[in-house]
Structure 1
Amino acid sequence: MNKIFLVLLVLAVLTGCEKELDQQPISDPTTETFYAIPNDFIQGANAIYAALRGYPDRQLNLSETRSDNLYAVSDGGVRDWEGINGFHRNLAANPYIAEAWLTNYNGVNRANVLLEQLDKNGHIVTDENLRGRLQGEARFLRAFFYFDLLRWFGRVPIVDRVITASEAATIPQSDIAAIYDFIIADLQTAIPLLPSKSEYAGVDRGRVTNAAAQTLLALVYMTRSGPNLGVNGSGLATNNWQEAAALLDEVIGSGEYQFLEGNNAYASIFSYDNENNAEVVFDVQYITGQNPVAGATFAWLLAPDTWFNANGHPNQGGLTIRPVSNDLLNSYESGDVRKAFSIQTGYVYNGVAETRSFFKKYIDLSRVPNNREDWPINFIVWRFTDILMLRAECTLHGASGSQAEVDQVVNRVRARAGLAPRSQVDLAGLMEERRKEFAAEGSRWHDLIRSGLAESVMSSWIEKEDVQSRIDPFQLNYTLYPIPQAELDAKPGVYTQNGGY
Structure 2
Amino acid sequence: MDPVLTKEFTDATYWESAANAELMVNMAYNQMYSADKMWNDEALSDNIYEGRSATDQRLIRNGLANPNMPRFASEWSDAYGGLKTCHVFLANLDRVPDGNEAWKKRKSAEIRFIRAFIYFRLVNFFGDVPFFTSDITLAESETIKRTPKATILAFIHDELSAISMMLPNRNELALSDRGRITRGAAMAFQARAYLYESNWQKTADYCDSLMQNQGVYGTYALFNSYEGLFQPANEYNQEVILDYAYVPGKKQWNKLYDAAPLSAGARLNAYAPLQSLVNNYLTTKGIPITEDAAYSDNNPYVNRDPRMSATIVFHGGKWTDFNGTIRTIYTKPGTGSNDTEKADVYINASANSSPTGYYVKKYYDPSVTQDYNSGLNIIMFRYADVLLMYAEAQHQLGKMDASVWNRTIRPIRDRAKFTAASALDFPTGISAAALTTLIRNERRSELALEGLRYYDIVRWKAGKTYLDGTVTGAKFANGNSDYIRLDNRRFDDSRDYLWSVPRAQMDLNKNLLPNNPGYAN
RMSD between aligned residues: 2.6
How far 1:49 moved relative to its partner?
A: 0.7
* 1:417 matched residue in structure 2: 416
How far, CA to CA, are the matches of 1:52 and 1:371 in structure 2?
26
How far, CA to CA, are the matches of 2:44 and 2:54 in structure 1?
16
* 1:97 matched residue in structure 2: 72
Quickly say closer, same or farther: Cα 1:157–1:190, change in 2 above 3 A.
Answer: same
The answer on whether the counterparts of 2:310 and 2:362 sit within 8 Å (CA) in structure 1 is: yes
* 2:349 matched residue in structure 1: none
Local SS of the residue matching 1:470:
strand
Residue among 203, 214, 219 paired with 1:244: 203
- 1:253-287: CA deviation from partner (whole Å, max 9, x where unpaired): 243111123xxx11111111110011100100111
The answer on whether the counterparts of 2:274 and 2:471 sit within 8 Å (CA) in structure 1 is: no
1:215 lines up with 2:188 in the alignment: yes
How far, CA to CA, are the matches of 1:466 and 1:153 in structure 2?
34
* 2:220 matched residue in structure 1: 257
- Structure 1 runs of 4+ aligned residues shifted over 4 Å read 346-350, 459-466
1:295 lines up with 2:269 in the alignment: no
Q: Percent identity?
A: 28
Amino acid at match of 2:208: D
List gaps (5 residues or longer) in structure 2: 1-8, 284-303, 316-329, 332-338, 347-355, 474-482
Local SS of the residue matching 2:238:
coil
TM-score normalised according to structure 1 size: 0.80
* 1:285 matched residue in structure 2: 245
Matches within 5 A, 1:73-472: 74=51, 76-90=52-66, 92-118=67-93, 120-121=94-95, 124-225=97-198, 240-255=199-214, 256-261=219-224, 265-290=225-250, 294-300=251-257, 303=259, 307-308=261-262, 310-311=263-264, 313=265, 315=267, 320-334=269-283, 335-346=304-315, 347=330, 351=342, 353-354=345-346, 356-364=357-365, 366-370=366-370, 374-398=373-397, 402-408=400-406, 409-419=408-418, 420-421=423-424, 422-423=426-427, 424=430, 426-459=435-468, 467-468=485-486, 470-472=488-490
How far, CA to CA, are the matches of 1:296 and 1:387 in structure 2?
27
Residue among 480, 500, 503 paired with 1:485: 503
How far 1:460 moved relative to its partner?
A: 7.0
How far, CA to CA, are the matches of 1:432 and 1:178 in structure 2?
32
How far 1:32 moved relative to its partner?
A: 3.6
How far, CA to CA, are the matches of 1:48 and 1:398 in structure 2?
37
How far, CA to CA, are the matches of 1:268 and 1:176 in structure 2?
38
How far, CA to CA, are the matches of 1:468 and 1:298 in structure 2?
22
Amino acid at match of 1:358: Y
Larger of the two Rg values belongs to structure: 2
Amino acid at match of 1:52: M
How far 1:459 moved relative to its partner?
A: 4.2
How far, CA to CA, are the matches of 1:454 and 1:182 in structure 2?
28
* 1:6 matched residue in structure 2: none
Quickly say closer, same or farther: Cα 1:358–1:481, change in 2 above 3 A.
Answer: farther
List gaps (5 residues or longer) in structure 1: 1-28, 226-239
